[in-house]
């Protein structure tokens, strides 16, 4: 909603300057992952806005407190950065409505920008459009797998074991250690593992 | 519930008059109270679940409900514009000011009771929020869009448990049937439209609960049958939640929910 004017402006800017738009668009539907939506391509282009590009890189250091290998960018929680003079407005969105990490993420965003010398920061929480696992970046999905969490797949696909890669897995519980994960077991290597649910 | 970042409200519908603003405040409070009270009931299973995985699953569902309550109550508080916050609404109102439906406040009972209530309410919420997504109030629509995805998950789990318990052992079947019989009379209140909601329905803000019933009944009836349970004889218990007339259980629940803020007013984490 509030993001739309910014998107349009940025697209124009980028088109004018023929900026390379191929960033991280390697994400495809292979392996049950999502195809890149047009909306997501626009979000990735926004990173290249010369006004805010360094800020996006600073916030790449802010990680999800519960999955510390994932940045809030990888997770799709970081939606937008706007700069008006010295004032910076960062827009984030919660993964789940009860996600207890939002307060920590807000504080971490403010701290990261403060360390880089930006004092005037406000963090906005937006609900619409609702977060979806489709926003997790390709790099994020790989980091998640390496960390031992199976990344989300469409319901028709099997959940592969992040340890041994076997497709012979079974659901133990619809909810794992956090609301965003389910608990699975690998019938091949016998390890239990978290699966990041498709939402 | 404190430390909330500034919310993006730039897309809010500002054109409403003061009267209708107040009705939306009341509507959001009702929906927030439903979520808060059931979320608290579910949280009581923390460390009391039948086994570890279900303990965690129940608490995660509770967290979704409490998150939903925060979204509705912070919206109500902001729209009201009287300087109150979501915390004030959750922790300092008394029984009569709570507007939740009675089914949400009943004690958690045994695991069968919790499961049956969750199934009946999850199915209701799925259809209710699917409809609320189309609300002319953009903030209510945004909260609904967030909630509906979670309700789909909640229902998957509670539906599976209904089948397992209903079509399980003799004892699990008996307990589940008893819970269903005890809860059935409270379901009617889920579908009651009072003048306030009818007025909001006319302006496209509220959901038509009668239409939700048309989707809820077939799903529930079919699942009850699949779980080898008997559909209870229809009966209706008196409602009253929307008027602040509650069962004796709500006061006990609030005593626990509000204790810290009552003892140490304004305390923050």
Report how far Cα A111 is from the mean position of its chain's Cα atoms: 19
Give the ipTM of the model, two decimals please.
Answer: 0.74
Residue A22 maps to a domain: no
Are residues A107 and A10 part of one domain?
Answer: yes
Asked if residue A115 belongs to a domain, the reply is: yes
Largest CA distance in chain A: 57
Rounded-to-integer distance, Cα B135 and Cα B167, Å: 39
pLDDT at A110: 96
* Residue-number span of the structural domain to which A85 is assigned: 4-14+28-134
Q: Are residues A119 and A51 in the same domain?
A: yes
> What span, in angstroms and rounded, lies between the C-alpha atoms of A14 and A17?
5
Buried b (16+ CB within 10 A) or exposed e, B185-203: bbbbbbbeeeebbebbbee
Rounded Cα gap, residues B67 and B39, in angstroms: 9
Strands, E assignment, chain B? 6-7
From the list A164, A191, A162, the residue with the least C-alpha distance to A67 is A162
Cα separation, A80 vs A122, in Å, equals 12
A9 lies in the same domain as A50: yes
A10 and A104 co-located in one domain: yes
- Residue A25 has which token pair? 């668009």
Residues 6+ apart with CB under 8 A from B225: B231
Specify the pTM: 0.84
> In this predicted structure, what is the pLDDT of residue B17?
66
CB–CB contact A130 B56 (8 Å): no
| Alpha carbons B133 and B262: distance in angstroms, whole number | 36
Q: Which residue's entry shows tokens 């079509």?
A: B167
Scanning every residue of chain A, which has its alpha carbon at the shortest distance from the alpha carbon of B12? A1
SS3 B12: coil
In a domain, A141, yes or no: no
Residue at which a domain ends, from A134, A156, A180: A134
Within an 8 Å CB–CB cutoff, is residue A104 touching chain B? no
Q: Does some domain include residue A58?
A: yes
B8 to chain A: which residues are within 8 Å by CB? 1-2, 91, 124-127
Both A118 and A52 in a single domain?
A: yes
Q: How far is CA A13 from CA A49, A50, B205, in A?
A: 8, 9, 38
Question: Do A171 and A154 form a contact (C-beta atoms < 8 A)?
Answer: no
Quick one: B9 exposed, middle or buried, by C-beta within 10 A (0-12, 13-18, 19+)? middle
Buried b (16+ CB within 10 A) or exposed e, B248-268: eebeebbeebeeebeeeeeee
DSSP state of A114: H
* Cβ within 8 Å, pair A130-B139: no
H/E run at residue B238: none
Among candidate residues A75, A48, A49, A47, the one with its CA nearest the CA of residue A62:
A75
| CATH code for the domain of A9 | 3.30.300.130
The parts of chain B modelled with pLDDT lower than 70 are: 1-17
Please indicate whether, in this complex, the C-beta atoms of A103 and B71 are within 8 angstroms of each other: no
Number of domains in chain A: 2
Residues of A with Cβ-Cβ distance to B156 under 8 angstroms: 174
> What is the length of chain B?
269
Distance CA A64, CA A56 (A): 15
**Separation CA A90–CA A113 (nearest Å):** 10
**Six-digit token string for B6:** 């500034």
Report CB contact under 8 Å: B65, A98: yes
Residue A172 CA, distance from chain mean position? 26
Q: Are strands A192-196 and A181-186 parallel, antiparallel or unpaired?
A: antiparallel
Residue A128 lies in a domain: yes
pLDDT in tens, chain A (199 residues): 333 333 333 333 333 333 333 344 444 444 555 667 777 788 888 888 888 999 999 999 999 998 899 999 999 999 999 999 889 999 999 988 888 888 899 999 999 999 999 999 999 999 988 899 988 988 999 999 999 999 998 877 889 999 999 999 999 988 888 888 999 999 999 999 999 988 8
Q: For residue range B178-234, list pLDDT tens digits in order.
A: 999 999 999 999 999 999 999 999 999 999 999 999 999 999 999 999 999 999 998
Q: What is the pLDDT of residue A25?
A: 40
Do A157 and A36 form a contact (C-beta atoms < 8 A)? no
Chain A residues with CB-CB distance to B149 below 8 A: 130, 199
Write the residue in A106, A129, A179 that is nearest to B63 by C-beta: A179
Instruction: Tell me the nearest-neighbour CA distance from B117 into chain A, angstroms.
Output: 18
Residues A170, A127 share a domain: no
Residue of A179, A182, A192 for testing the chain B interface, max B β-carbons within 10 Å = A179
Q: Which residues contact B209 (CB under 8 A, 6 or more apart)?
A: B128, B190, B191, B192, B193, B197
Q: Is the dihedral of CA A41, A44, A49, A51 positive or negative?
A: positive
Predicted pLDDT at A32: 56
Are the CB atoms for A83 and A59 separated by under 8 Å? Answer: no
pLDDT value, residue A180: 86
- Cβ–Cβ below 8 Å for B8 and A176: no
Q: In what order do the strands lie in the sheet with A192-196?
A: A149-150, A192-196, A181-186, A169-173
Domains along the sequence of chain B with CATH: 18-263 (1.20.1260.10)
Cβ atoms < 10 Å from Cβ of B168: 16
- Same domain assignment for residues A81 and A152: no
Residue position matching structure tokens 């009341």 = B26
Please tell me whether residues A93 and A180 are part of one structural domain.
no
Pairing assessment for the beta strands A169-173 and A181-186 based on DSSP bridges: antiparallel
What pLDDT was estimated at residue A6?
34
Q: Domain boundary at A111, A134, A157, which?
A: A134
CA distance to partner chain B, nearest, from residue A17 (Å): 30
A128/A155 same-domain check:
no
**How far apart, in whole angstroms, are the C-alpha atoms of residue B258 and residue B254?**
6
Give A-chain residues touching B150 at CB under 8 angstroms. 96-97, 179, 199
Residues in chain B whose beta carbon is closer than 8 A to a beta carbon of chain A?
3-8, 10-11, 53-54, 56-57, 60-68, 70-71, 138-139, 141-143, 145-147, 149-150, 153, 156-157, 160
Residues A126 and A54 in one domain: yes
Instruction: Say if A99 is an interface residue toward chain B (CB within 8 Å).
Output: yes
- Sheet holding A78-84: strands in order across? A78-84, A87-92, A121-125, B6-7
User: Contacts of residue A130 in chain B, CB cutoff 8 Å?
Assistant: 142, 145-146, 149
Do residues A153 and A198 make contact, with C-beta atoms less than 8 angstroms apart?
A: yes
Q: Which residues of A touch B7 (CB under 8 A)?
A: 124-126
The verdict on a CB contact (< 8 Å) between A128 and B56 is no
Considering the domain architecture, whether residues A159 and A126 belong to the same structural domain is answered as no
pLDDT at A99: 80
With beta carbons under 8 A apart, name residues in chain A contacting B141. Answer: 128
Say yes or no: A170 and A80 in one domain: no
């Amino acid at each position: 909603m509030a993001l739309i004017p910014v998107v349009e402006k940025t697209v124009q800017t980028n088109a004018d300057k023929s900026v390379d738009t191929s960033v991280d668009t390697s994400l495809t539907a292979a392996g049950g992952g999502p195809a890149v939506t047009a909306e997501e391509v626009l979000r990735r282009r926004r990173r290249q806005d010369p006004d805010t590009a360094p800020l996006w890189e600073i916030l790449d250091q802010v990680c999800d407190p519960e999955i510390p290998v994932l940045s809030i960018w990888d997770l799709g929680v970081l939606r937008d950065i706007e700069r008006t003079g010295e004032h910076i407005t960062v827009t984030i969105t919660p993964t789940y409505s009860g996600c207890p990490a939002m307060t920590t993420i807000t504080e971490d965003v403010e701290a990261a920008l403060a360390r880089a010398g930006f004092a005037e920061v406000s963090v906005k929480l937006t609900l619409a459009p609702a977060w979806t696992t489709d926003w997790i970046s390709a790099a994020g999905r790989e980091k998640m797998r390496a960390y031992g969490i199976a990344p989300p797949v469409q319901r028709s696909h099997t959940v592969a074991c992040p340890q041994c890669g076997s497709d012979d897995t079974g659901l133990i519980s619809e909810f794992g250690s956090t609301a965003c994960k389910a608990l699975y077991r690998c019938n091949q290597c016998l390890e239990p593992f978290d699966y990041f649910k498709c939402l | 519930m404190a430390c909330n970042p500034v919310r993006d409200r730039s897309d809010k519908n500002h054109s409403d008059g003061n009267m209708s603003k107040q009705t939306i405040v009341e509507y959001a409070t009702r929906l927030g109270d439903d979520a808060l009270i059931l979320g608290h009931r579910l949280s009581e299973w923390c460390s009391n679940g039948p086994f570890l995985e279900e303990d965690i699953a129940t608490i995660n569902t509770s967290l979704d409900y409490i998150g939903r309550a925060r979204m509705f109550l912070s919206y109500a508080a902001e729209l009201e514009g009287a300087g109150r916050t979501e915390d004030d609404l959750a922790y300092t109102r008394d029984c009569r000011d709570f507007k939740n439906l009675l089914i949400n406040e009943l004690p958690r009972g045994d695991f069968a009771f919790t499961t049956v209530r969750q199934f009946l309410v999850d199915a209701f919420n799925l259809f209710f929020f699917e409809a609320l997504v189309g609300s002319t109030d953009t903030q209510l629509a945004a909260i609904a869009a967030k909630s509906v995805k979670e309700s789909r998950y909640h229902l998957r789990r509670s539906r599976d448990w209904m089948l397992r318990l209903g079509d399980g052992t003799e004892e699990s079947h008996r307990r589940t049937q008893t819970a269903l019989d005890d809860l059935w009379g409270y379901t009617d209140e889920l579908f009651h439209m009072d003048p306030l909601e009818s007025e909001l329905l006319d302006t496209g803000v509220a959901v038509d609960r009668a239409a939700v019933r048309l989707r809820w009944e077939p799903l529930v009836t079919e699942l009850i049958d699949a779980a080898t349970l008997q559909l209870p004889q229809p009966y209706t218990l008196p409602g009253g939640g929307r008027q602040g007339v509650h069962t004796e259980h709500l006061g006990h629940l609030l005593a626990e929910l509000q204790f810290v803020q009552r003892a140490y007013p304004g305390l923050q984490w």
